[in-house]
Structures are given as structure tokens and as C-alpha cells.
């Protein structure tokens, strides 16, 4: 156990770099042990990386509390009052959508254990209707086994999941719908449980023209005799509009939206919740109390309106993130290093540690970005640049770039078969590569759409600057929310010629930079 000194004015500061920390220590005399620091560190890092704790301070967030309550009540109505429901949670990346839903499900589990089951889908993992359906069947299967303990294990194992997709869905429908009629059935408990579907990246299921999965799910939520709740999570504000008519008519039209913070103060009020620890949570209440106070102090070091250059690093970071991405996860990433440096000698955050993460980030110039792209992203950039060069149009959208990509890959594959004879420059190459057909796969547009989004996020493609919006252009680019429609016209920040210069000579795709 170490007793921290109570500084009087003339005492020498033992940790000159820990300026901020000492300031608080001098206010109060308190004791802190190695264990206390370790506990706090573990807790805060867990909050920052959002692994096990799942944003414990969520209910303190003014930006999320109403949305959280709404989601919770929808779930509760489904489970307690046995009503079918559907809703969409819409908000930008890292705005707490998943946090809200997971927390609501956790709270629900405490109160209504065994009265509901959750089926989770994510369009990133279960990329089309068939895969999603199989996944639903698999999860239902798993739950039904759990509900029935081990008794009927054998017979239930493949109850839902059938070989044919349509069989599977029919099976699910039949079993869900027939609840009262065969109540003697062995999976009675499953039938009486409510089912909550949580569908992440919801808008990606609206892609195919029939929207069969969504249609069936929404239909189920309205007609099924057991209560079913469909909760979609999406980043696209237009998601509601993307639903086909007959799907839309079955959706409750309930949309819960999460907005970005509107002021720096508001951003900070939310962001700091990831650093703050509940006073009662850890053993040493006094320490956690001081810890929380200290975090507020760090930020308020220099009040707003003063010259930013002389203010605390934390404040600079908050400003920087607020005026660029407003992304809470980015803020968390910046805090991990300072928190990991906590020790018994300096039990509070040191402001000087804060710039460390930022200074290690790449400089973000276009050369570095191009070099860091994946093959697919690079090919898409080349295709876009070729299109612009060929058509002599300054703007481009995803559909155009994709068309060019297809043509380009055709050309590339044709060339790669024939050219081997002519261009190989060593004897071995001649032997090995002659008549060897090396083709590049041409990916589907839905695969490339993600790459397009990444390029937008990285700033390789940027919003169009016209004379009328030139003044706002800087703001527009900064505030863009990383979601980009297929037909949205954008500009490319690099030309074909520049690409040819940036790319290494050894890259096979370099020849594509010549028209
Ligand atoms: N309003 C907020 N206030 C403070 N922290 C937040 C807020 N929203 C998100 N965060 C932080 O960001 C983390 C990630 O949030 P979450 O996973 O819920 O984002 P999401 O909206 O689901 O993003 P994605 O679209 O990428 O799935 C949270 O654990 C939390 O630490
Ligand atoms: Mg999420």
C-alpha cells in the first residue's frame, strides 16, 4: 500500500510529467493500492474496446437514453404482452446502435429469462436470403435443443434445418404457426417463447428484388400465433424507403433514429462515458471518484473559446474528432494508450500521453492510401480512373466504375493468356508460364460495393465540388457519414497517370493504367 503525499505548495513535484494527476492528488489525501489501479485499468480498457462490458454507462448518455428505452419497451411488449412488433434502429457508424440493442436484450434476460429467444443475423455474415434462412434454422435448432435439455436431442437436431431451402422455411413456418394445435409436442417450451430477430446491416437484405426474407419475417411478425419482434439495424437513413410495397405494408413504420452530437460539448458528454467508472463498481470508492473528477478536469483545463494550441491534448483530440468523423470508437482508440500507462506511481491519466496515438497515425496523403489498398479496391480505383480518362467526364458513380471494372477484367484476362509468350523475360518464366492461363476473378457488384464504400471513407473518392457548393465543400467532405449510394456522383482524387506513378513496377495490374 502506498500513501500518496499531500502536497503543500513548496513541496517538490515527484512526477513532473504527471502534472494533471498531481494536481488532484494534492487536494485530498487518499490511499491507492496496486490492485486498485489494476482493477480500474482493466475496467476502463474493457469499456474502451467494448468487449465484455458493452458500454456500461449507456443509460447515462443523453443521446441514447430515449432510444434505449424505446427499444427496450418494444422488446418487453413482445415478451410480456405477447404482441408482434417490428422496428428499425437507424444511426451512423459507431453511434451506439448495437450497444442499445444488446443492453436492452441483457436487461430483458434478467427479467424474463427463458421467456424469449434471440435470433441474430448480420448481412455482412449471412449475405443473402438463403444463407440467412439457414442461419435462422440453425439458431432455432440450437435454442430448441437448449429448451428441451438433453432428452430429445437426437430427434430435434435437424428439426428445422432441411436440405432444401424452401423446406426449411416451410418447416419454420409450420412449427412456429402451429403452436396451440400441437401443444403436446415435445418442444412446447420453445413454442411458448417469444422470438426476437435482430438484423444488423438490415438494408443489405433489401438488395434483391423480391425481398423474400424480409417479406416472410414481417409477415410472420403480424400473423404468427407466437409473438415475434423484428428489429432491423441500419446506417442508411433511407432504409424504410427501400422496402418493397408489400414488405413495407407489413412493417410497423417505427423508426428509432440516433443522431450525431450537435456540439463539441455534447460529443464530450457522451464520449467521456467510456472513461468514467461507476463509483461503487470497484473496491476503492474514493479513487474512482477522484478518477472521474480528474477526467472532467482534463477536458476543462482551458475553457472553450481560448486558444486551442495552449489547451490540453485531450481537448484537442475531442475537437479534432468532433470536427471530422464524430466517431466515438475513434475517441476510444485514442484513449487506450494513456489508460494502459496507468500505474501506482501515476494513477491518473496523463495528458501528455494523449497525442501518442494520433502522432502514430499515417499522414493520410493519397500515395500512402493507394499503397494500402487491397487488390480489389485498387482495381476499382484503376477502373474508375480509366473511365474518367476515357469518357473525359470529371464525375463518376459506382455503377459506371463497376461497368468499367468488368470490361477491364475481361481485357486483363484475355491479355494474360496471350502475352506470356511474348513478354516473359527469363528462361524459367518461359518454361513455366507459357500456355499457363492465369485469370483474375471478376467479382460481383455487391462485393465491390463494400470496396467503393471503403474508398469513400478513405477519401480516394470525394463528394463533387461544384461552383454552387464550393464554399461548403470543405464541410461536406468532413461531415460525410461514410454511406454512399450506388448512383451518387463523386470525384476521384487521383488520375490514371498518377496511379501509374504510384504503383510499383512489379505489380501485375500496373499495365492496366495504360488505356
Ligand atoms: N452516444 C455514444 N456515447 C458514447 N459512446 C458511444 C456512443 N455511441 C457509441 N459509443 C461508443 O462506441 C462503441 C461502439 O458502438 P456500437 O457498437 O453500438 O456502434 P454501432 O452504432 O452499432 O456501429 P456499427 O454501425 O459500426 O455497428 C460503444 O461501445 C461505445 O463505447
Ligand atoms: Mg453495430
Indicate the average pLDDT of the chain.
79
- Name the closest ligand to CA 328: 1
User: What pLDDT digit, counting tens, does each position of 114-148 carry?
Assistant: 889 999 999 988 888 888 888 888 888 888 777 66
Where are the strands (E) in 347-483, listed by range?
A: 461-463
pLDDT for res 433: 52
Tell me the domains of the chain and their CATH numbers: 2-7+15-54+262-360 (no CATH), 64-257 (3.40.50.300), 367-513 (no CATH)
| DSSP result, 191-255 | HHSEEEEEEETGGGGG-SSS-HHHHHHHHHHHH-SS-EEEEEEES-TTHHHHS-HHHHTTS---E
Assess whether the C-beta atom of 97 lies below 6 angstroms from ligand 1: yes
Assess whether the C-beta atom of 98 lies below 6 angstroms from ligand 1: yes
pLDDT for res 297: 86
Assess whether the C-beta atom of 67 lies below 6 angstroms from ligand 1: no
Residue minimizing CA distance to atom 18 of ligand 1: 96
Following CA atoms 239, 241, 244, 246 in sequence, which dihedral angle do they give, to the nearest 10 degrees?
110
Assess whether the C-beta atom of 288 lies below 6 angstroms from ligand 1: no
Helix axes 313-323, 285-300, angle to 10 degrees: 70
Nearest-atom number in ligand 1 for the CA of 102 is 18
Assess whether the C-beta atom of 56 lies below 6 angstroms from ligand 1: no
Residue minimizing CA distance to atom 20 of ligand 1: 94
Assess whether the C-beta atom of 457 lies below 6 angstroms from ligand 1: no
User: What pLDDT digit, counting tens, does each position of 328-365 carry?
Assistant: 998 999 999 999 999 988 889 888 888 877 777 666 67
Query: What are the residues facing 255 on neighbouring strands?
Result: 88
User: What pLDDT digit, counting tens, does each position of 196-246 carry?
Assistant: 999 999 998 988 778 888 988 898 888 878 889 999 999 988 898 999 999
Nearest-atom number in ligand 1 for the CA of 101 is 18
Nearest-atom number in ligand 1 for the CA of 91 is 21
- Please state the φ and ψ torsions of residue 384, each to the nearest 5 degrees: -60, -45
Nearest-atom number in ligand 1 for the CA of 200 is 27
Neighbours of ion ligand 2 (CB under 5 A): 98
Amino acid at each position: 500500500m502506498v500513501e500518496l503525499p499531500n502536497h503543500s505548495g513548496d513541496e517538490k513535484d515527484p512526477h513532473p510529467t504527471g502534472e494533471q494527476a498531481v494536481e488532484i492528488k494534492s487536494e485530498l489525501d487518499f490511499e491507492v493500492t496496486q490492485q486498485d489501479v489494476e482493477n480500474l485499468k482493466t475496467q476502463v480498457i474493457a469499456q474502451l474496446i467494448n468487449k465484455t462490458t458493452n458500454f456500461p454507462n449507456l443509460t447515462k448518455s443523453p443521446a441514447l437514453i430515449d432510444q434505449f428505452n424505446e427499444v427496450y419497451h418494444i422488446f418487453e411488449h413482445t415478451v410480456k404482452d405477447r404482441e408482434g412488433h417490428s422496428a428499425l434502429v437507424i444511426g451512423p457508424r459507431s453511434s451506439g446502435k448495437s450497444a442499445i440493442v444488446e443492453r436492452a436484450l441483457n436487461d430483458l434476460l434478467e427479467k424474463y429469462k427463458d421467456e424469449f429467444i434471440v435470433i441474430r443475423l448480420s448481412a455482412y455474415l449471412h449475405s443473402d436470403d438463403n444463407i440467412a434462412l439457414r442461419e435462422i434454422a440453425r439458431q432455432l435448432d440450437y435454442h430448441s435443443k437448449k429448451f428441451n435439455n438433453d432428452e430429445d436431442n437426437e430427434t430435434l437436431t435437424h428439426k428445422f434445418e432441411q436440405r432444401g431451402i424452401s423446406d426449411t422455411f416451410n418447416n419454420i413456418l409450420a412449427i412456429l404457426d402451429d403452436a396451440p394445435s400441437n401443444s403436446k409436442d415435445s418442444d412446447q417450451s420453445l413454442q411458448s417463447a417469444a422470438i426476437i430477430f435482430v438484423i444488423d446491416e438490415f438494408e443489405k437484405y433489401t438488395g434483391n428484388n423480391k425481398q423474400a426474407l424480409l417479406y416472410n419475417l414481417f409477415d410472420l411478425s403480424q400473423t404468427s400465433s407466437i409473438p415475434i419482434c423484428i428489429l432491423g439495424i441500419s446506417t442508411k437513413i433511407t432504409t424504410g424507403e427501400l422496402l418493397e410495397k408489400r414488405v413495407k405494408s407489413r412493417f410497423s413504420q417505427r423508426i428509432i433514429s440516433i443522431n450525431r452530437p450537435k456540439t463539441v460539448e455534447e460529443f464530450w458528454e457522451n464520449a467521456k462515458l467510456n472513461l468514467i467508472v461507476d463509483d461503487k463498481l470497484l473496491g476503492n470508492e474514493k479513487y474512482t471518484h477522484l478518477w472521474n473528477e480528474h477526467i472532467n478536469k482534463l477536458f476543462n483545463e482551458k475553457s472553450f473559446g481560448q486558444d486551442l494550441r495552449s489547451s490540453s491534448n485531450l481537448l484537442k483530440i475531442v475537437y479534432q474528432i468532433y470536427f471530422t468523423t464524430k466517431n466515438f470508437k475513434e475517441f476510444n482508440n485514442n484513449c487506450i494508450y494513456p489508460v494502459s500507462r496507468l500505474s501506482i506511481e501515476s494513477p491518473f491519466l496523463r495528458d501528455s500521453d494523449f497525442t501518442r496515438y494520433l502522432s502514430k497515425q499515417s499522414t493520410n496523403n493519397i500515395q500512402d492510401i493507394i499503397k494500402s489498398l487491397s487488390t480489389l479496391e485498387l482495381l476499382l480505383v484503376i477502373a474508375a480512373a480509366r473511365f474518367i480518362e476515357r469518357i473525359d467526364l470529371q464525375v463518376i458513380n459506382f455503377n459506371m466504375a463497376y461497368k468499367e471494372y468488368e470490361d477491364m477484367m475481361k481485357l486483363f484476362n484475355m491479355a494474360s493468356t496471350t502475352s506470356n509468350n511474348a513478354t516473359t523475360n527469363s528462361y524459367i518464366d518461359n518454361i513455366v508460364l507459357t500456355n499457363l492461363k492465369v485469370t483474375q476473378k471478376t467479382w460481383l457488384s455487391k462485393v465491390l460495393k463494400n470496396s467503393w464504400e471503403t474508398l469513400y471513407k478513405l477519401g480516394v473518392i470525394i463528394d463533387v465540388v461544384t461552383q454552387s457548393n464550393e464554399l461548403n465543400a470543405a464541410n461536406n467532405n468532413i461531415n460525410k457519414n461514410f454511406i454512399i449510394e450506388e448512383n451518387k456522383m463523386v470525384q476521384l482524387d487521383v488520375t490514371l497517370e498518377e496511379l501509374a506513378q504510384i504503383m510499383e513496377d512489379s505489380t501485375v495490374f500496373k499495365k492496366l493504367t495504360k488505356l
